[in-house]
Structure 1
């Protein structure tokens, strides 16, 4: 009976354990589903790049056709050089030229005024030499018109030169007409481009007068962000085509940054004691480029290592808990790991800004304080404030859908209270700038902004350390110094275009 009770109790306990395990698993699944839902919402709320223009703009070529002077291209276009052989007696010169054209498969036009006969004895001679020899013997010349070879007399050549001079005068007359043509006005709404910058570009497109000044004007109306253009009809058409090309929506870039302050040893554990970049994600090499000349890092792709992690400058493996959490698909995990290290007291996260900016548009973030500086002039005290900040400036330039060029400038100011002038502390300024290529979603690590921490500590037995003459037996002092480093993690992401409504 007692054995049955024991078995029954054991079975009941096992059932309770199974039920609690299922409930915990269900709760865990619900919790994971909850966080997954918010993660998807966070990804969707990062923003988009503007959709392209709805209206289709049919652009005419912006390069004007330049009329060539017929008869002056024989030195520019190569002639056939295949070997030919001909043995002819008392044959019309036109027949010889047509035979040569058929051998080289060329289109040929001959002036009907060309007459006369010739004898030809050629054996394995280059085609161009044979052709030029026949022409020179009879005082003829040639010129290309597109794919057509014209055979002409000297009189024909002089006629072409006179015709070219007339066309040149006609073009000059056309320019002169443009200089005196009546001006018309047009207002163009600018949607995406900077109207002030666009104005400077368009002014250079206007026809110039005899003194080199633009005929017309381009004025910016800031209220409506429009351009008021006054120019000739021909210039208005050309400027309109230019605006259609330049006034396009620019893609946008989301830049996620984490600025971390850590001790030198922790920075070494993170594997970024030397500046470099870490790549991760599908079909990407893993590793850190370290200890190289800066020129070798542009554009660096990282030294490939095993999947286990990167290496420190001395060749030892990275022991940080971050592991392989750098990369395009792991930014959220990198942020969480840095926060975990901060909770352990190993790092201090100074700032985690997230900035969205347009292509080729500078964005910055600033974190710090303002230091009052007191100056005295003729007995009058004046207080002004100096910035002591950590400033990060980023200018992204989208190369294509997968790569960006980035201009990065970092300025770090430190207040040195150990050195003062009339009570005003020194401000130590450090600045670094770089340009590099980076893949879309790749994390860049910037390091090298270090500062020295000095600490004086006095300790002793309370009461006894203050006894005159004998207190030094019961007290002590110590000095400690250490180096701290600021690490900046940057991840640029090209935002996809928003799908335009139908």
Structure 2
């Protein structure tokens, strides 16, 4: 039943009218003056008092001037030269809060006020002249609650980190075992606390609610309620659902006596002479929003409703409870159950058996022979064999003309009978239910409808999830691919903030919990790999001592090349591969290309390289180190870019060609501690001069290998052969056949073979 309550203002006006009539009657009775003269004299007095009242109202509406804004850690102090009103509300952005000061002029310079204090990043003050209004836009460093405290001409806003406050309250009040709804506070749940707040001027003159002439108690109170002093502060606001009722509880530090009245789809509670020192909870259906504003002599709490509905207000000790009756659709959603539990038909149930007995004979084979038999007794027989509890739908009917099976399990026999008669089964625990397939189809449809209604009725909440190691776009794509967030609802979705690497999720709490679990799995730090490379140039006759042995037979018929086992002391050849002859030259009848991949101990490789360098048989070209993340490419490059001129219709153009020694490595860590390497090694050098420019000699290796963590991979086979011939002698005499050798000298150098060896050592780095 809706309870009609008067506002204090209307009560005072009604009392003034009654007092006026009493004074007129007293005047006429106490004097010999006519009633008309008494009425005239009292009217003059009332007119004078009315003028005084008007003057006082005008005095109350005098314009104040904002004189100072002071920011400290988690606190904002707003000072004015006169008392003022204020309204605090939060827009959809959880990092913002807005304070509106009606009838207040801005007495300080407009513009952004930067803050280095905790809780507040910046404040943007602004002013409108008609009517006078000062607005303060506050940018918070994190989503938080705002608790105001007003005294005299000073408004103090306390920025409260709700997560830290929750931990503190949980520790202090563990013995009190508070309700789950009272402790389940998250920083993101303050987002809609003052959502859709428009103004604190709720009770406009034309919207004054009608009040009964007969005076009634403001609120029903409990008979055993103990006497408490009047409250000066609201210390807690809580909202919860109990069966078919939504309850909003406002708790003070003493007794509360609110004035309650209604507007269009709004319920307004005025709390005289109290301040709001607690954050407002997130609204639940059928409430659309909860907002609050501070007046000079009261705090006003406005409850925005989705639709007009009945409510009751009760004052018990230090609390005021506003109870809303849930609509029918809310009741249905709250009581929705699985369709299986809605079954009203009487079914045939077999004697219940323990769960351990079910399926005990699943693999055992039997012979069956049924003739002109009803199928229900057959199901009873299978229940005894299987040890499961069978529940038979009353719609299951039929007779078997002839069924003869040999060496089959009871489960296979059951499936044959079900398929023959268009039946289905459903297994839950040790209970097997048998019914027509149409029944299961209908149940699935009803279950889907109930789930849809439940999801539609469930409250939409907003939470902010920060991504630490992955990118917001990667996590957003994974959530979308997992189809957790519904695309059919416009009020649900994912918003990415690439600047803060943050996801803003709007969905039901159930789906948000699923998203958090997915983020917890995916948002982890990748392991890193330190790649150390040694690039060395050596003579081929010394390559064996470095762990690579070259060999094979070379001939005009079938030249071969060998790939050897890798060992510091040399090894045997495991493969001989035929190759195609390179040409018909008598000096070079066949060509050989060598390539070897192997692993060696890092310490032995370093010792061997040091020994060769000491005798001048090797030259270390490069020893780079680079760290990369798992499954991310790393490139090491050293060399020069050579300018090459090209001529075209557009004219002469200069292009640069890289003559570099480069090494590209992509590591991938396996679960057993190995590192899979994708290697691309290239050695480009300046070649001979041609009419078109210098040629580029290219040598490259592209391969994959699996290396144990900390071991060294050896890549070889990139080598060059240099041969030179020279002749000096006396001109003319040196050209005489045979005798010319007495007057000339022929010099031949080579072949000098140099080989490029690459040693790669991957090391897994678990912590940076």
Query: Is the TM-score greater than 0.5?
Result: yes
Q: Alpha-carbon deviation of 1:146?
A: 2.7
Q: Which runs of 5+ in 2 are unaligned?
A: 1-337, 342-358, 552-560, 577-597, 736-742
Inter-partner Cα distance in structure 1 for 2:518 and 2:672: 25
Q: Deviations over 1:437-461 (max 9, x none)?
A: 2222222211122233243546x5x
Give, in angstroms, the shift of residue 159 of structure 1: 3.2
Q: CA 1:127 to 1:419, structure 2 compared with 1: closer, same or farther past 3 Å?
A: closer
For the Cα contact (< 8 Å) 1:142–1:149, is it kept in 2?
no
TM-score, normalised via structure 1 length: 0.58
Structure of higher CA gyration radius? 2
Gaps spanning 5+ residues in structure 1: where?
1-66, 71-76, 276-289, 293-301, 316-324
The 1:95–1:304 alpha-carbon spacing in structure 2 relative to 1, beyond 3 Å, is farther
Cα distance, 1:173–1:380 mapped onto 2, change above 3 Å: same
Aligned 1:272-351 pairs, distance under 5 A: 272-273=548-549, 291=562, 310-311=571-572, 327=600, 330-351=601-622
Equivalenced residue count is 373
Q: CA RMSD in A?
A: 5.1
Measure, in 2, the Cα distance between the counterparts of 1:248 and 1:143: 43
1:43-192 matches, within 5 Å, as: 82-83=365-366, 97-111=379-393, 128=410, 141=423, 143-148=425-430, 150=432, 152=434, 154=436, 157-170=437-450, 177=456, 184=462, 186=464, 188-192=465-469
1:253/1:494 contact within 8 Å kept = yes
**TM-score, with structure 2 as normaliser:** 0.40
User: Kindly tell me: are residues 313 and 352 of structure 1, through their superposed partners in 2, closer, same or farther at Cα, counting changes over 3 Å?
Assistant: farther
Q: 1:413 Cα deviation (Å)?
A: 0.7
Counterpart-to-counterpart distance in 1, 2:366 and 2:649: 98
| Equivalent residue number for residue 322 of structure 1 | none
Q: 1:200 to 1:166 in 2, by over 3 A?
A: closer
Matched, 1:405 2:676: yes
CA offset at residue 246 of structure 1? 1.4
CA, structure 1 residues 172+252, in 2 after alignment: closer, same or farther (shift >3 Å)? Answer: same
How much has 1:265 moved relative to structure 2? Answer: 2.5
Query: How far off its partner does 1:407 sit?
Result: 0.9
Tell me the secondary structure at the aligned position of residue 192 of structure 1.
coil
Measured in 1, the distance between the counterparts of 2:507 and 2:441 equals 32
Q: 1:195 to 1:395 in 2, by over 3 A?
A: farther
For the residues of structure 2 that align with 1:117 and 1:453, how far apart are their CA atoms?
96
Alignment of 1:179-218 (within 5 A): 184=462, 186=464, 188-195=465-472, 197-205=474-482, 207=485, 209=487, 216-218=493-495
1:237–1:454 CA distance, 2 compared to 1 (3 A): farther
Map Cα deviations across residues 93-121 of structure 1 (whole Å, 9 max, x no partner): 87775454233322223457889999999
**Other-structure match for 2:528:** 252
Aligned to 1:438: 707
- Identify the structure with the greater strand proportion: 2
Cα deviation, residue 142, structure 1? 5.7
Cα 1:373–1:174 change in 2 (3 A) is farther
What is the CA–CA distance in structure 1 between the aligned matches of 2:480 and 2:368, rounded to whole Å? Answer: 61
Q: Can you list the C-alpha shifts for 1:57-116, whole angstroms capped at 9, x where unaligned?
A: xxxxxxxxxx9999xxxxxx99665326899xx9x9877754542333222234578899
SS of alignment partner, residue 543 of structure 2: helix
Which residue does 2:686 correspond to in 1? 415
Pair 1:438–1:97, CA change in 2 (3 A): same
Kept after mapping to 1: 8 A contact 2:545/2:570: no
Aligned pair partner of 1:357 in 601, 608, 628: 628
- For residue 379 of structure 1, report the CA deviation from its aligned partner: 9.8
Higher relative contact order structure (alpha carbons within 8 Å, sequence separation ≥ 6): 1
Q: Is the 8 A contact 2:646 2:653 kept in 1?
A: yes
Deviation at 1:271?
4.7
Residue aligned with 1:165, SS: helix
Q: Per-residue CA shift, 1:232-277, capped at 9, x if unaligned?
A: 34654443332221111122222222111123332355452569xx
Partner Cα separation in structure 1 for residue 650 and residue 379 of structure 2: 103
Which whole-Å CA distance do the structure 1 matches of 2:412 and 2:710 have between them?
65
Question: Residues 495 and 152 (structure 1 numbering): CA distance in 2 closer, same or farther, change over 3 Å?
Answer: closer
